[in-house]
Amino acid sequence: MNCCLLPTAKIWRDFSLNSLNRMFAFTYRNFIFSFRNFFAFMELLFWPVIGLLSVGLMSNFLGLQENYASFILTGAITAGVLQVTQLDVSYSLLYDIWSKSIKHTFLAPVAHYDYILGSWILGIVRGTMVFVIMAVFSVYAFDFVLPPPMITFMFMLGLYVNALVIGMLVCLLVLLYGQRVEVTAWSLATMLMLICGIYYPVNFLPKIFLKLSEFIPLTYFLEYYRSAYGFAPLFSHSLLKGFVLSFVYVIILFYLINYSFERARRTGMILKLSE
């Protein structure tokens, strides 16, 4: 029996190592693209800091109490981290489209999760850099107080998974409808953040948007994080609901992306995206 188990374990180990190698190859590819692109650097520093600075100065002008100022600053930090992280996932497909090489990428023995998860890894690294920069800047410029480390860690973990969901949704839309919907890479996250109560409690939204917010994981992660500042969450078990909803979406989106890729290959969309 041990003789049967050993080859199986070796095959699984080799498969895991090969899969990791493929994922990190896409991580390295996206890193090279970002390193050589000045605008990618601007995404990392300029726009997140500008957004944080404008919100922080507004909170000082209004003379907000510490907990209310922190409420708004967490929104600005969340917006910066989420946008940078999800853009890397979205770029996993868009880089190939812009360079007209998508058909060559998928001729290689790679799975769909390889380029998505590989790009997500770089997104996590860049998102963490943005968080550290914005958090440190907020502490010194606006007396921002971070919640305890474990609460911050769980919030960031949820934020990264939520960014994966948004980036995968962008990839799905591009595979289904082509390059004309690539604008969703920059607009989709912003629209979702408005529904999630990025700068305000979601119960201030009209009822239809409040109901929609219940289906977006970011709503629960924001409520969980802001509860550390004394704000009572509108939903119970916010952290659990956020993670469960996120992982359900990730599984569904992986299946849908696989379907949309096969459909794009049958309809000739892959060739059109390479022209």
- In eight-state DSSP terms, residue 234 is S
Does pLDDT of 134 surpass 50? yes
Phi-psi region of 63 (alpha: psi -120 to 50; beta: other; left: phi over 0): left
- The pLDDT value recorded for residue 10 is 42
With 0.85 as the threshold, say if the pTM is over it.
yes
pLDDT reported for residue 2: 43
Instruction: Give the span between the Cα atoms of 128 and 131, in whole angstroms.
Output: 5
Q: With pLDDT > 70 as the criterion, what percentage of the chain qualifies?
A: 88
Work out the mean pLDDT of the chain and round it to a whole number.
84
The pLDDT, as a whole number, for residue 108 is 66
Kindly state the average pLDDT of the residues 72-99.
88
Mean of the pLDDT values across residues 159-181?
A: 90
What pLDDT, on a 0 to 100 scale, did the predictor assign at position 214?
92
Residue 144: per-residue pLDDT: 87
Q: Residue 219 above 90 pLDDT?
A: yes
Higher pLDDT, 84 or 93: 84
Is pLDDT of 12 > 60? no
Taking 70 as the threshold, does the pLDDT of residue 272 lie above it? yes
pLDDT of residue 86: 93
Least confident of 21-30, 61-70, 87-96, 201-210: 21-30
Contacts of 102 (CB under 8 A, 6+ apart): 93, 96, 270, 273, 274
Q: Is the pLDDT of residue 85 over 80?
A: yes
For the segment 227-244, what is each residue's pLDDT rounded down to a tens digit? 988 888 888 889 999 999
CA 246 – CA 154 distance, rounded (Å) = 13
User: Above 60 in pLDDT, residue 265?
Assistant: yes
115: pLDDT strictly greater than 50? yes
Angle at CA 249, nearest 5°, toward 243 and 254? 130
Mean pLDDT within 126-145: 90
Q: Count the residues in the chain.
A: 275
Q: Could you tell me what percent of the chain has a pLDDT over 90? A: 37
Write the burial class of residue 5 (CB in 10 Å: 0-12 exposed, 13-18 middle, 19+ buried). Answer: exposed
Residue 6 has pLDDT above 70, yes or no: no
